[in-house]
Copies of this chain bind each other. A is one copy, B any other.
């Protein structure tokens, strides 16, 4: 069946973009992708259009598809928009979450925890993405979901170095994030709006600080010889 290939191409390309295997701004060659996924150009182009609609890639006339870039302008917008949307999504999730969805969410969180204990960076990143995606699905908001998805695309791509810091650091922030996930699940299960929103904002703040550190990292110590692994822990 060919529509399987199509679905697979869509999912795989999303994954490759989120994992930075396909770098922001990178050009995508239709013919190459056709061969990789066993599709002819027509359905592959439909996949690219879908990805463009979701914000993963950018299409320009006669110039093909490029992986969405993350420039400084969008960064500012990201910080302005993310907490509001995340909080709103959590609020709606509390209202609408079904028992099935909670089960799914807990499963994802289990996989996330396992990835953390295995120190599997790529897996952490992916499961964290899926965690927040699942909460977005709970919110069941056709209006807000597209914004959440776009935020998550860039947030996930920025989070790689955050999770990489878990490898070296002993008391890593990743464990804190993991606990926040648990408390968020509990709040949603108890239908506690204020708790869910508070936990969401705390989770955001943790992430924001880490990203901030990267954008404006601590000055290197004067004694340069001892800094070899210090730069790692900045994450």
By a beta-carbon cutoff of 8 Å, the part of chain A in contact with chain B is 3, 42, 45-46, 49-50, 52-55, 61, 73-74, 77-78, 80-82, 84-85, 88, 92, 140-144, 146-147, 150-151, 154
Contact = CB atoms under 8 A, between A and B. Distances in A.
B143 A78 contact: yes
A42 B81 CA distance: 37
B141 A3 contact: no
A207 to B, nearest CB: 15
B142 A55 contact: yes
Contacts of A141: 77, 80-81
A54 B55 contact: no
Contact of A143 (B3, B53, B82, B92): B82
4 nearest CB pairs, A to B: A53-B53, A146-B146, A49-B49, A147-B147
Nearest to A80: B92
A141 to B, nearest CB: 5
9 contacts: A49-B50, A77-B144, A80-B92, A80-B141, A81-B141, A142-B150, A143-B151, A143-B154, A146-B150
Contacts of A42: 42
B151 A81 contact: no
A223 B34 CA distance: 70
A101 B184 CA distance: 41
Contacts of A52: 53
Contacts of A140: 73, 77
Given A55-B142, A146-B146, 18 more contacts: A46-B46, A49-B50, A52-B53, A53-B53, A55-B146, A77-B92, A77-B142, A77-B144, A78-B143, A81-B144, A84-B88, A85-B143, A85-B144, A142-B150, A144-B147, A146-B147, A146-B150, A147-B147
Nearest to A6: B61
A225 B171 CA distance: 78
Contacts of A77: 92, 140-144
Q: Which of A3, A53, A55, A92 has the most CB of B within 10 A?
A: A53
